[in-house]
Structure 1
Amino acid sequence: MSDWYRDFANSGFGTTLTKQLGLPRPAVLRRYEPGSPLLPGPAVIGTAGKGRLREALTTILRDAGVTVQSPATADGGTDGEKLAAVILDATGLAGPADLAAAHDFLAPAIKRLRGSGRVLVVGEPPAEATSVPQAAARQALDGLVRSIGKELLDGSTANLVHVPEGAEGSLASPVRFFLSGRSAYVDGQPVTLSAADVPSTQDDDRPLAGKVAVVTGAARGIGAAIAEVMARDGAHVVAVDIPAAGDSLAKVANDIGGTALQLDITAAHAARRLIEHLRERHSAGGNRCVDIVVHNAGITRDKLLVNMDATRWNSVMAVNLQAQLDITQALLDSDALRPGARVVCVSSQSGIAGNRGQTNYAASKAGVIGMVRAWAPEFAERGATINAVAPGFIVTEMTARMPLGTREIGSRINSLQQGGLPVDVAETIAWLSQPGSAGVNGQVVRVCGQSMLGA
């Protein structure tokens, strides 16, 4: 869907007018296209503290065909070529004094950042610090990155990856994601890695080849976009939605070469029927029959809490939270998940920040986050992962029906000054579903352009 204000602000007359009036000019974001390079220009890597990952970061970038410049040229001392990415290895921070090096490297490098550029800071978890000063310095990176994200212009983003000792092998996948166009609407986000058995190679064009992926709520909107991106990346998609959406669901499944399953996920036997369907179609003679499960289905029944009846409350909880719990537990109990399985749950910015008139919805989406974090250790023991995405303002047919003022405010109050697209949520889910993302577990990634609402 078109963003009329962004399109106008980037037209010849619109650019002049917005500059004269001091109005924001949202950028046209760099989004992923199959076959596109990881970065459209060179990158520079600097260090703060006794950084231990610079060599690994350099290898990841060079293996992806990226030219890595020397930090000595970060001030433009060569030919002044614009940078596509600025990466800081801030592992090994001992205390706040080490943060001065972060400033000394980032300030001149960011001045050379091109439009839709990427700033990526790699640090270590504050919770694993061995001293109070070290914990303070590590936590400082969070505020640093979020603030950089709010200062960057022209569609550029800043994100943070925490890499504990022993998790270095998990680094490549998040680095590629945060630098690529797949993360166009992910800004100001921290992700903590864990040690995992990560494949040594991956087909970056079709990383999900041979996988079977279930996507609930797939008949329209974000769910349809998830199904499309999963199929583009090589997965066979089982698209699930309620019988009333059967025609739309069939069209989505046919368009991507997947299969459609009409199913009310709140029904008493929904989990059993889903597993039976998967075993009939995708089992190779054993119980294991699915690689990826995306819990996307969700509903809203908005009302102020004091005016909300039990039906509104219970229906939202049943679809948004209880069904995810029941289906995931059934998959675990039946041993239906294949080795290296990925479960991705769709939460919401409302589950983090709350929203007036959405106590039921916000509670259900916050519950999804609690579920993911609590289940992460068990999934790790099985060699699997469970994560959540929390979309912010995403432009869909539903948001298009909002009053103009509400829609415009909702889409502009973030660092990128625009609403996201369903494909932005889908790209993040597809990344979390990749084999290379084995070290990303129990995480919540907001896809919100770094909304000003919530943490």
Structure 2
Amino acid sequence: MADKYLELVNFGVTKKLAKTLGLPRPAILRRYAPGAPLLPGPVLLLGESAEAQGIADTLLGWGLDVRRHVTGDTKLGGIILLLDELGAPGELSAPMLAAGDALRHLAPGARIVSFSRPALGTDAPATAAVRQGIDGAIRSLARELRGGATANGIVLNQEVTATAPSAVAALHFLLSGRSAYVDGQFLSIETRKGTLPANFEKPLAGKVAVVTGAARGIGAAIAHTLHRDGATVVVVDVPAAGDALAKVANQVAGTALQLDVTRADAGAKIIEHAVSRHGKLDIVIHNAGITRDKLLANMDAARWDSVIAVNLASQLAMNEAFLAAELPGLRIVSLASTSGIAGNRGQTNYAASKGGVIGMVRASASDFAANGGGINAVAPGFIETEMTARIPVPTRAVARMLMPSLMQGGLPGDVAEAIGFLASDAAAGINGSTLRVCGQSMVGA
């Protein structure tokens, strides 16, 4: 958080006072730290599935203590629900109630992850009912958790198994501290594509990545995260941000490109810089964006058009250049927003641009897949940045309390972690999707 509230209600004398007064007490979230354990305790495997042994073997390979039952006062680091073979609503009762019995054993920062199948129009009605019911159950369970615990799901396309590379990578991401602010969400694994990293600590080793809008805030956090994960990073921003951009480039041992992304040749300039300086281009993160908020009744053409130009039209134009260049295996991640999903008062232009990003990503997936790559989006919710720090304290406090279980805004690094995962080769089976990083709230910026 930008203020001291979270610290005050979790430590020392003020913690006791907050508890006595009944004040909301957001948990300290379990975020990623290099070398830290994947989970804060054993993992409980529930449900009957042909994939159970394969998942258990994967978890054991990660050094986890795998249980099929809760014993004694064990504090569980996670629960995995294998729901991929359910065919009727009545079959959901046993695994969900078993999970309910185990909830009191969850350690702070625990993770719950389900495996399921998508509900399709070609399914038998009972099968579609239970599959869609899982979606509602997991999202609701996420709202019941406390102590920084989260619940998310992995949805396996009909031809994909739970041990497919991208499914395994998604499981690792959702169990880890990298997913601290991802809650009540589902990752859809469309194909068996994907290559697991030799080292989950360096999943982007050897990659060359470009991050636009990288001089500060979320863009700078993305650059730092991609560098930490092994990538060589090119940071891009407008010339006016040149000094801040150079500082970020030095911090990540990368190179800086001063460029207005709305230029007609922006895509070509990015390719030229990356290839001439680093030999290739593997990853592009479309982060550059602006806000020009006004109620629609007071909106003028300059405010509307500038937001669409920077946030959406520039990405469309650059993507055309990337596709024309036929860059092998290029993976793109675009910044959307929960405002583009649920809307936000005074942001019709911004919401249109971010909703447009989601549509663009969905429609572009097959084009990028044709050359071995892919494109996805991340939709942040209420993220604590310099911009949100200027919001009046009472307004910020209300926004945080609207987070159903986490009761706090996210950090730029939370967005960056999700982007780093989706940018990796391990996520190749995920394409055309939008992942919300919002603490299960639709409050966005």
Q: Same fold (TM over 0.5)?
A: yes
Secondary structure of 2:328's counterpart equals strand
Letter of the structure 1 residue corresponding to residue 301 of structure 2: A
Listed as ranges, the gaps of 5+ residues in structure 1 are 284-288
Secondary structure of 1:171's counterpart equals helix
Letter of the structure 2 residue corresponding to residue 179 of structure 1: L
Match of 1:437 in 2: 427
Identity rate of aligned residues, in percent?
52
Listed as ranges, the gaps of 5+ residues in structure 2 are none
How far residue 129 of structure 1 moved from its aligned partner, in angstroms, is 5.7
Verify: 1:88 aligned to 2:81, yes or no: yes
Q: 2 CA distance for matches of 1:2 and 1:360?
A: 27
How far residue 201 of structure 1 moved from its aligned partner, in angstroms, is 4.6
Task: Report the CA distance shift for 1:116/1:129 in structure 2 as closer, same or farther (over 3 A).
Answer: farther
How far residue 19 of structure 1 moved from its aligned partner, in angstroms, is 2.5
Match of 2:63 in 1: 65
Match of 2:6 in 1: 6
Q: 1 CA distance for matches of 2:118 and 2:443?
A: 24
Aligned partner of 2:285 among 294, 299, 311: 294
**TM-score, structure 1 length as denominator?**
0.94
Aligned partner of 2:355 among 351, 366, 377: 366
Deviations 1:228-282 (A, max 9, x none): 0000001000000000000000000001100000000001222222222223223
Match of 1:180 in 2: 176
Aligned partner of 1:303 among 273, 294, 302: 294
Q: 2 CA distance for matches of 1:56 and 1:344?
A: 30
Verify: 1:112 aligned to 2:105, yes or no: yes
Match of 2:407 in 1: 417
Secondary structure of 1:88's counterpart equals strand
Q: Is the 8 Å Cα contact of residues 202 and 436 (structure 1) preserved in structure 2?
A: no
How far residue 443 of structure 1 moved from its aligned partner, in angstroms, is 1.2
Match of 1:350 in 2: 339
How far residue 3 of structure 1 moved from its aligned partner, in angstroms, is 3.8
How far residue 40 of structure 1 moved from its aligned partner, in angstroms, is 2.2
Verify: 1:223 aligned to 2:245, yes or no: no
Q: 1 CA distance for matches of 2:133 and 2:13?
A: 42
Match of 1:189 in 2: 185
Match of 1:263 in 2: 259
How far residue 142 of structure 1 moved from its aligned partner, in angstroms, is 1.1
Aligned partner of 2:52 among 51, 54, 62: 54
Secondary structure of 2:44's counterpart equals strand
Secondary structure of 2:159's counterpart equals coil
Match of 1:204 in 2: 200
Letter of the structure 2 residue corresponding to residue 159 of structure 1: N
Aligned partner of 1:317 among 301, 305, 308: 308
Q: Is the 8 Å Cα contact of residues 2 and 384 (structure 2) preserved in structure 1?
A: no
Q: 2 CA distance for matches of 1:295 and 1:267?
A: 14
Q: Is the 8 Å Cα contact of residues 52 and 91 (structure 1) preserved in structure 2?
A: no
The 5-angstrom pairing of residues 126-275 of structure 1 reads 126-127=119-120, 130-168=123-161, 169=164, 170-199=166-195, 201-275=197-271
How far residue 114 of structure 1 moved from its aligned partner, in angstroms, is 0.6
How far residue 110 of structure 1 moved from its aligned partner, in angstroms, is 1.6
Match of 2:393 in 1: 404
Match of 1:102 in 2: 95
Aligned partner of 1:448 among 417, 432, 438: 438
Match of 1:18 in 2: 18
Q: CA RMSD in A?
A: 1.5
Q: Is the 8 Å Cα contact of residues 339 and 442 (structure 2) preserved in structure 1?
A: no
Moved more, 403-412 or 10-19: 10-19
Q: 2 CA distance for matches of 1:453 and 1:131?
A: 36
Deviations 1:19-65 (A, max 9, x none): 33332210000100111121121101010xx5232122212211111
How far residue 423 of structure 1 moved from its aligned partner, in angstroms, is 0.3
How far residue 222 of structure 1 moved from its aligned partner, in angstroms, is 0.2
Secondary structure of 1:39's counterpart equals coil
How far residue 440 of structure 1 moved from its aligned partner, in angstroms, is 1.3
Verify: 1:334 aligned to 2:325, yes or no: yes
Q: 2 CA distance for matches of 1:413 and 1:130?
A: 36
Match of 1:286 in 2: none
Aligned partner of 1:388 among 374, 377, 389: 377
How far residue 383 of structure 1 moved from its aligned partner, in angstroms, is 1.9
Letter of the structure 2 residue corresponding to residue 176 of structure 1: H
Task: Report the CA distance shift for 1:206/1:87 in structure 2 as closer, same or farther (over 3 A).
Answer: same
Secondary structure of 2:192's counterpart equals coil
How far residue 200 of structure 1 moved from its aligned partner, in angstroms, is 5.1
How far residue 452 of structure 1 moved from its aligned partner, in angstroms, is 5.2
How far residue 442 of structure 1 moved from its aligned partner, in angstroms, is 1.2
Q: 2 CA distance for matches of 1:202 and 1:434?
A: 12
Deviations 1:380-399 (A, max 9, x none): 23221111000011111111
The 5-angstrom pairing of residues 28-43 of structure 1 reads 28-43=28-43
Q: Is the 8 Å Cα contact of residues 342 and 442 (structure 2) preserved in structure 1?
A: no
Secondary structure of 2:297's counterpart equals helix
Task: Report the CA distance shift for 1:201/1:213 in structure 2 as closer, same or farther (over 3 A).
Answer: closer
How far residue 124 of structure 1 moved from its aligned partner, in angstroms, is 0.5
Task: Report the CA distance shift for 1:431/1:200 in structure 2 as closer, same or farther (over 3 A).
Answer: closer
**TM-score, structure 2 length as denominator?**
0.96
Verify: 1:427 aligned to 2:417, yes or no: yes
